[in-house]
Amino acid sequence: MRKEYLIEKEIYNKEKVKGGTKKWGFFWDSNLLNKISEQYNKKRDEWANIYLKDKKILILGAARNNIDFCIKYTNDITAIDISERQIENIKAKYSHVQAMIGDITTYNYPEGYYDAVFCSAILHHVPKDLDELFDHLHYTLKDEGNIFVYCEPLRLNPLLVLGRRFFPSQNHTPGEQPFLMRDFKKHYQKKYELIALQYCFFLTLFLGVFVKVTKINRIKFLTNTLYKINSFFYKIDCLLAKTPVNNFFWLFAMVLKKK
């Protein structure tokens, strides 16, 4: 197991400590970002109804919130995570889920077994092993099986760069590497076909920062105004996502089909 994965295992086995130094996400308004997320998530809910419903699913990097999402669509779930604590949390809530401790980059996957693989903010934790991992997943997926990438960070987003530089958190670990989309494509395009793609948060992320600033300064009328126009910023983001500006979005989501 790589040294950086051992460090990640240690980090995720610890209980998160509240308070202390300012963490990633401090500089935006979480309530507004959650509200905007609901608009983006509608598309991924549509994908889930197509690609996850009643399927045999493998979840990689199995935080409990990933189970919470997938369990709405199927009960046939296998979950793998490097952290004993994460697996214990899953078993405590979902006793019927097959939850196992393991390194997703070296796990002994069964051949042609799963209909879909679900990944949420996990692939950028294993950038050095991404080619090998996609090979493993190709082996374990059934014919025309899918990889459902719920979200991954993009390297060029300015707020992501500033946030990770000045507001480090327990969730940001040494082995992480946000992606450039052109580089990410090189890892999957030989063995997978892209069938759905979504870019999330550009102007909407800046909006969250502005709201945070107005709240701190107690400018209530401006805070309320910014809350009301979030749908307008979301629509602009949807248009920008169809242009090269999409390289500067915060997150992307996609569905891949095994060739």
* pLDDT tens profile 203-257: 999 999 999 999 999 999 999 999 999 999 999 999 999 999 999 999 999 999 9
Q: Is residue 152 part of a domain?
A: yes
Q: What is the mean pLDDT of the chain?
A: 90
Q: What is the mean pLDDT of residues 77-104?
A: 91
Q: What is the mean pLDDT of residues 146-157?
A: 96
Q: Is residue 15 part of a domain?
A: no
Total structural domains in the chain?
1
Q: Is the pLDDT of residue 132 over 60?
A: yes
What pLDDT is recorded for position 7?
A: 63
Cα-trace Rg, the chain: 19
Q: Is residue 16 part of a domain?
A: no
Q: Is residue 17 part of a domain?
A: no
Q: Is residue 241 part of a domain?
A: yes
* Domain assignment of residue 143, given as a range: 3-10+24-258
Q: Is residue 79 part of a domain?
A: yes
What pLDDT is recorded for position 22?
A: 57
Q: Is the pLDDT of residue 21 over 60?
A: no
CATH number where 206 lies? 3.40.50.150
Lowest pLDDT segment from 164-178, 185-199, 214-228: 164-178
Q: For the whole model, what pTM was predicted?
A: 0.90
Residues 86 and 125: their CA atoms lie apart, in Å, by 16
* Confidence class for position 172, pLDDT limits 50, 70, 90: low
Lowest pLDDT segment from 55-59, 91-95, 252-256: 91-95
Q: What is the mean pLDDT of residues 52-59?
A: 97
Residues 230 and 16: their CA atoms lie apart, in Å, by 31
Q: Is the pLDDT of residue 110 over 60?
A: yes
Q: Is residue 38 part of a domain?
A: yes
Q: Is residue 18 part of a domain?
A: no
3-state secondary structure 125-188: HCHHHHHHHHHHHHHHEEEEEEEEEEEEEECCCHHHHHHHHHCCCCCCCCCCCCECHHHHHHHH
Show the beta-strand stretches assigned E in the chain: 57-60, 77-81, 98-101, 114-120, 141-153, 192-200, 251-258
Report which of residues 175 and 242 the model is more confident about. 242
